[in-house]
Amino acid sequence: MLIVQKFGGSSVANPERIRNVAGIIAESFLYGHEVVVVLSAQGDTTDELLDKAAEINPNPSKRELDMLLATGEQQSIALMAMCLEGMGLPVVSLTGWQVGIRTDAAYGAARIRRVDTERLRRELDKKRIVLVAGFQGVNKFDDYTTLGRGGSDTTAVALAAALHADRCQIFTDVEGVYTADPRKVPGARKLEEITYDEMLELASMGAQVLMNRSVQLAKRYGVELEVLSSLVRAPGTKVKEVSKNMEEMKITGIAKDEKVARVTVVKVADRPGSAFRVLNAVSKAGINVDMIIQANGQDESTNDISFVVSQADAEAASRALSERQAAIGFDHVSVDTDIAKVSVVGAGMMSSVGIASLVFEALNDEHINIQMINTSEVKISCVIDAASADRAVAAIHRKFFET
Amino acid sequence: MLIVQKFGGSSVANPERIRNVAGIIAESFLYGHEVVVVLSAQGDTTDELLDKAAEINPNPSKRELDMLLATGEQQSIALMAMCLEGMGLPVVSLTGWQVGIRTDAAYGAARIRRVDTERLRRELDKKRIVLVAGFQGVNKFDDYTTLGRGGSDTTAVALAAALHADRCQIFTDVEGVYTADPRKVPGARKLEEITYDEMLELASMGAQVLMNRSVQLAKRYGVELEVLSSLVRAPGTKVKEVSKNMEEMKITGIAKDEKVARVTVVKVADRPGSAFRVLNAVSKAGINVDMIIQANGQDESTNDISFVVSQADAEAASRALSERQAAIGFDHVSVDTDIAKVSVVGAGMMSSVGIASLVFEALNDEHINIQMINTSEVKISCVIDAASADRAVAAIHRKFFET
């Protein structure tokens, strides 16, 4: 069996953790599997390198930043290789260019174009454990690129797809995907399986187990993922096309995103195309918009248009609108960052009635006011005030999982 | 004019030093020169990486050690590039494999086989300052190799040779090559010029300005070197084929090496081939021997054979001999590390009589006993007790340079 394993930065943060991970790798190898391992930079290495760069130049080019950051993963694979050597195991470490991970030229956020498998296959055929530096590749100029946030997960999925791996295990500091954040909701349950789409919704809703990009890639190439802990030996959560539980369990999990903001455009002139002009201004600024409502203003000739963006984008959205105030026609823009989005995710949701009403009932019981609602095939999201978010998650979780 | 500049680890140890070096590079570039810069890893980075490795595995493979160490220089070039970018200058950084520095497969001590100039030329043609990671290359398997001690100097000379550079400047923390160590001998003078051979003798005698290997490479390809300070703006010392001063100045400099040991094989049987068997045993252990004397032992049937090795090799030499004690035939081996080698170097030395006698006179005046003597075309070396070394250097320096 060919297994791709990925370990994040906290899993290799110090010699003790490195030895622990080496034990997991060794176990898979000694079971007779072919093992390809993707590693992130150790602990805070990437942040330390960013600090070093900032001391020299607060605004360096992305090319040189990638040149600098790529060293973090290279150090991880070398150190892990030494650890496995110390255990008497055959091992070789390879950087992104050595593997042949070819990306586009978008420094800092490159997308993988192609993965050569020749060198990987050659090393596997020599019965070696192969360690690959995550997060990095090279573009057509042979210049280093990095893949951006969650890049090592993406590397692992891309390698698994290219090598037609039998398994792709993503080791993290949690034991799997839960019905809600287990640190906040004591009754939260670990899911045995989840579909790609459910995982995508949970990830985009703030459950930071896997980055959306790697899940999308896994879905596209049919790579079955397993999310599991590098510290606790226990089965994790499988992410695959069709979950066997899909029909039985109506909802999969509950997630909360507090890094959102509500932008309200106040007193938009009530004429055709107003909403389009508002949303167009925001989208032209490269900002993703989620959940839109249009409500009658106090007078009859205007509407208020509200939408949700990530907090990081709120100021830019407000600026983009203000620049076109005359063309769009509105009074002013207000931004509220004191909100949270609570989402209920489940692939079987829409086929069964009453899910939405159970959600509303749970929030109503807690006297939590719903500001905005959005529904899709696999989720229901509610915007509520930030202070009530944890209480809302717990209440919904009780309603669905604990009765 | 095409200039290759090399800056060592202490020259780029922190942001302030990086900015200082960026100023030197910028000046050359703004004078209209094509500038290729070779950098070492920052300050103690290499030692820190070695410590990290030792924590994981006290005896890692050299391949993985090179994978780890190569990151140090990569970080230096990225940070320097950011600094030059901040000054508004066009710059690009390149690692060893990006340049195409091809080496043999001797991890940890690789020798450069070939330097591709295509990428370098292309970047220079774009009017960019090109920063190259020193100390590293790739072998025919596309695996990282490092060049061993003084590797960045070697990189600089190899690039200068491949690009037919007009100048190769080696920036260090001293202002050039001196007639003696200026920290110890107040009257020491900076040399304007020195020949390759003189530099080679001085380097091997413990004057750590340039590693022998880079001087040998420079000599072979006729690359004129200039050794100068990155902190003090002053002309340094030129290392070239024929120094204009060669005929006038009989000796060039005085060096001292305290990291030597005297190994004495006591009571070697006085029969044909004994000396050969002694030296062969040591050389088969891969140890270089310098200065050999054979003296009659106390009885007439044996000799004592003494030779000088580096302190690091003394134990191994003693062990190699003891293992063959029966075959060689001797009583025991003694090691004396309490010695120093003082050398007088000068290309014009042998053509002029009396140099040796002036050296002996200087030592005699100071009542310093000479244990061993060795002479060559360009140097005279004396082994004396370690405690007298500084006094010996000062005395010889006075005799030749201060009268």
Domain ranges of chain B: 2-173
User: Could you tell me if B197 and B378 are in contact, meaning their C-beta atoms sit under 8 angstroms apart?
Assistant: yes
Of A15, A68, A93, the CB nearest to B67: A93
Tokens at residue B270, please? 């006085």
Instruction: Report CB contact under 8 Å: A15, B56.
Output: yes
Which of residues B37 and A377 earns the better pLDDT score?
B37
Q: Residue A282 pLDDT > 50, yes or no?
A: yes
Of A56, A92, A97, the CB nearest to B18: A56
Q: In what order do the strands lie in the sheet with B101-103?
A: B112-115, B101-103, B136-138, B144-146
B110-140 per-position pLDDT tens digit: 999 999 999 999 999 999 999 999 999 999 9
- Distance of alpha carbon B249 from alpha carbon B351, whole angstroms: 11
Neighboring chain A residues of B88 at a CB cutoff of 8 Å: none
Alpha-carbon Rg for chain A in angstroms: 23
Neighboring chain A residues of B53 at a CB cutoff of 8 Å: 78-79, 82
Q: Which of A221-235, A347-361, B43-57 has the lowest mean pLDDT?
A: A347-361
- Distance of alpha carbon B152 from alpha carbon A123, whole angstroms: 31
In sequence order, what are the beta bridge partners of B5?
A: B37, B169
Q: What is the overall mean pLDDT for chain B?
A: 90
Tokens at residue A265, please? 């455009």
Instruction: Report CB contact under 8 Å: A18, B56.
Output: yes
Residue whose pair of structure tokens reads 């001085």 in the numeric block = B202
Instruction: Fill in the DSSP letter of residue A11.
Output: G
A387-397 per-position pLDDT tens digit: 999 999 999 99
Q: Residue B379 pLDDT > 90, yes or no?
A: no
Of A86, A93, A119, the CB nearest to B56: A86
Which of residues B349 and B115 earns the better pLDDT score?
B115
B87-101 per-position pLDDT tens digit: 999 999 999 999 999
How many angstroms away from the CA of B55 is the closest CA of chain A? 7
- Distance of alpha carbon B221 from alpha carbon B112, whole angstroms: 13
pLDDT of residue A381: 87
Instruction: Report CB contact under 8 Å: A85, B57.
Output: yes
Tokens at residue B88, please? 């508004």
Q: What is the ipTM of this complex?
A: 0.76
Tell me the residues of A at the B interface, defined by beta carbons under 8 Å apart: 15, 18-19, 49, 52-53, 55-57, 59-61, 63-65, 67-68, 70-71, 74-75, 77-79, 81-83, 85-86, 92-93, 95, 97-98, 119, 142-144
Which of residues A88 and B402 earns the better pLDDT score?
A88
How many angstroms away from the CA of A195 is the closest CA of chain B? 39
Using pLDDT thresholds of 50, 70 and 90, give the confidence band for residue B246: very low
- Distance of alpha carbon B373 from alpha carbon B290, whole angstroms: 11
Residue B155's φ and ψ, nearest 5 degrees, are: -55, -45
Tell me the residues of B at the A interface, defined by beta carbons under 8 Å apart: 15, 18-19, 49, 52-53, 55-57, 59-61, 63-65, 67-68, 70-71, 74-75, 77-79, 81-83, 85-86, 92-93, 95, 97-98, 119, 142-144
Element (H, E) at B361: helix B355-365
Neighboring chain A residues of B143 at a CB cutoff of 8 Å: 98
In this prediction, residues B143-157 reach a mean pLDDT of: 93
How many angstroms away from the CA of A340 is the closest CA of chain B? 39
- Distance of alpha carbon A400 from alpha carbon A253, whole angstroms: 9
Question: Cα separations (Å) of A142 from A104, A115, B76, B322?
Answer: 11, 14, 19, 54
Instruction: Report CB contact under 8 Å: B78, A67.
Output: yes
Of A15, A64, A142, the CB nearest to B81: A64
In this prediction, residues B196-211 reach a mean pLDDT of: 75
Using pLDDT thresholds of 50, 70 and 90, give the confidence band for residue A350: low
Using pLDDT thresholds of 50, 70 and 90, give the confidence band for residue A136: very high
pLDDT of residue B317: 94
Q: What count of other Cβ atoms lies within 10 Å of the Cβ of residue A241?
A: 11
Q: Residue B244 pLDDT > 60, yes or no?
A: no
One of 3.40.1050.10, 3.30.70.330, 3.10.129.10, 3.40.1160.10 is the CATH number of A2-173, namely: 3.40.1160.10
Neighboring chain B residues of A97 at a CB cutoff of 8 Å: 97
A66-122 per-position pLDDT tens digit: 999 999 999 999 999 999 999 999 999 999 999 999 999 999 999 999 999 999 999
Q: β-pairing, A193-195 with A237-240?
A: parallel
Per mean pLDDT, which of A116-130, A256-270, B285-299 is the most reliable? Answer: A116-130
Q: Residue A246 pLDDT > 50, yes or no?
A: no
User: Could you tell me if B171 and B6 are in contact, meaning their C-beta atoms sit under 8 angstroms apart?
Assistant: yes
pLDDT of residue A206: 56
Which of residues A205 and B306 earns the better pLDDT score?
B306
CA A130 to chain CA mean position, Å:
26
pLDDT of residue A243: 58
